[in-house]
Amino acid sequence: MSRDPFKLSTTEDRSLWISSGGLCARCKTPLILDDVNAKVNIGERAHIIGKAKGKKGGPRREFADDFDITDENIDSLENLMLMCSPCHHTIDTNHKEHPPQDLFDMKEKHESWVSEQLSKKNKAIVVVHKRKNLMPVDSILLSKETNCLLLDAVSLQEEFTDFTEEGWTAAKKENEDFFRKVVNSKKEHEGTYLFVFPLSPIPLLIHLGSLISDTTAAVVHQFDRDTQMWCHENVNPDKNVGLPEVKVSEEVHKKLVVSLQVSGTIHERDITDAVEGPFQRLNIKIDEPKLNAVLYEDDVEVLKSVFRKEIYRLQSENQFSEIHLFYFGPAGLAVELGRCINQNMLPPVHLYEYNIRATNAKYQRAITI
């Protein structure tokens, strides 16, 4: 294929990307990849009727007259498709098996599909926050699980290992810097949902949720460790956990300790080891806490609603000076709890990280919202 510059204006080039949805017209692979600290473009503008002339003309150039393609319109949007590099190379190398009409039909079918997806308003920005373990999550594979049109992917996947006070302070700032990238992407792609995939230490996820807030359209996914799949919508409503047990201690103090037990038990001694008394206690506990007890949307919404209702009710009644939050549950629900924390309506909220190997207090204060 010729290396001559394309005769496309900036507007025409952007139009090609928009009409293609940022996806390869042949294999539907997203063409903007999220690499470490950089966006990588693997998209290429592919001529249907090749541009080069002469004996060894461009692929399918001999069909130019049949499709009214001339030197003047060969770089027009009508003769260009957006493809990934492998597909572009395939159709041009094996051009006899990819005749012009098939490619014109492919282009029309793909762009019609993109237009249909856009009209459904199911556009998404994939947000990956994974700071546990070294194996990265592939945002491209995640985009195929969402059944949405992926417009961008923003990820933070550097393992967090410094659990000192200085480490948590740095991680909090990294969260804020990361969220600014998410905000910038949202500004570029209006009308999009955030599809959040979290696998990080709990305090970082609650803090991330507070940054996202409940005012942003976001779908937070839960990771099922048994199936190794991400999930959100209910697959079996009969397995819903129902309303949790809510207990509030009667004696009122300036501190409120909130414990939410979903994946396991939070022992009283672990709380008293971490927080100097006296304090009032709000305990929210599902029946038989265990791993993977809460994965799906209905259960998450129930627990999120109870948490929000009780914490704001007690704050309104008692005007606490500080709140201490202890959480034992899945990562996705942690983000959703953070979305309930409005800094303008609540006092400072202290978040704790659990460390089973700790010789003293098992819960260590990590981040304050």
Please give the full DSSP string across 263-316, using - where no structure is assigned: SS---HHHHHHHS-S--EEEEEE-SS--TTS--SHHHHHHHHHHHHHHHHHHHH
Decide which of 206, 231, 256 is a domain's last residue: 231
Q: How high is the pLDDT of residue 147?
A: 62
128 and 83 assigned to the same domain: no
Residue 48 counted as domain residue: yes
- The whole-number average pLDDT for the span 224-242 is 76
312-328 pLDDT, tens digit each: 999 999 999 999 999 99
Binning pLDDT at 50, 70 and 90, where does residue 40 land?
confident
Residue 278 counted as domain residue: yes
Q: How high is the pLDDT of residue 2?
A: 38
Q: How high is the pLDDT of residue 34?
A: 62
Contact (CB, 8 A) for 262 and 333:
yes
CA angle centred on 87, ends 86 and 89, rounded to 5°? 65
Binning pLDDT at 50, 70 and 90, where does residue 12 land?
confident
248 and 202 assigned to the same domain: no
30 and 98 assigned to the same domain: yes
Contact (CB, 8 A) for 66 and 73:
no
Binning pLDDT at 50, 70 and 90, where does residue 1 land?
very low
pTM of the model: 0.72
Q: Hey, is 133 helix, strand or coil?
A: coil
Residue 236 counted as domain residue: no
Contact (CB, 8 A) for 189 and 152:
yes
113 and 132 assigned to the same domain: no
95 and 18 assigned to the same domain: yes
Which range marks the domain in which residue 38 is found?
A: 10-119
138-196 pLDDT, tens digit each: 665 665 566 666 778 889 999 999 999 999 999 999 999 999 999 999 988 877 889 99
220 and 161 assigned to the same domain: yes
Residue 4 counted as domain residue: no
26 and 112 assigned to the same domain: yes
363 and 246 assigned to the same domain: yes
User: How many structural domains does the chain have?
Assistant: 3
Decide which of 101, 119, 137 is a domain's last residue: 119
Q: What is the DSSP string of 9-66?
A: -HHHHHHHHHHHTTB-TTT--BSEEEETTEEEE-EEEEESS----STTPSTTGGGTGG
Non-local (6+) Cβ contacts of 222 within 8 A are 230, 231, 232, 294, 295, 296, 300, 330, 331, 332, 333
CATH number of domain containing 335: 3.40.50
Decide which of 231, 257, 284 is a domain's last residue: 231
Q: Hey, is 155 helix, strand or coil?
A: strand
270 and 362 assigned to the same domain: yes
Q: How high is the pLDDT of residue 285?
A: 97
Residue 1 counted as domain residue: no
81-97 pLDDT, tens digit each: 999 999 999 999 998 89
Residue 206 counted as domain residue: yes
322-366 pLDDT, tens digit each: 999 999 999 999 999 999 999 999 999 999 999 877 677 789 999
106 and 141 assigned to the same domain: no
Residue 237 counted as domain residue: no
Binning pLDDT at 50, 70 and 90, where does residue 55 land?
low
Rounded-to-integer distance, Cα 347 and Cα 258, Å: 13
Q: Is the pLDDT of residue 21 over 90?
A: no
101 and 147 assigned to the same domain: no
263 and 353 assigned to the same domain: yes
Binning pLDDT at 50, 70 and 90, where does residue 228 land?
confident
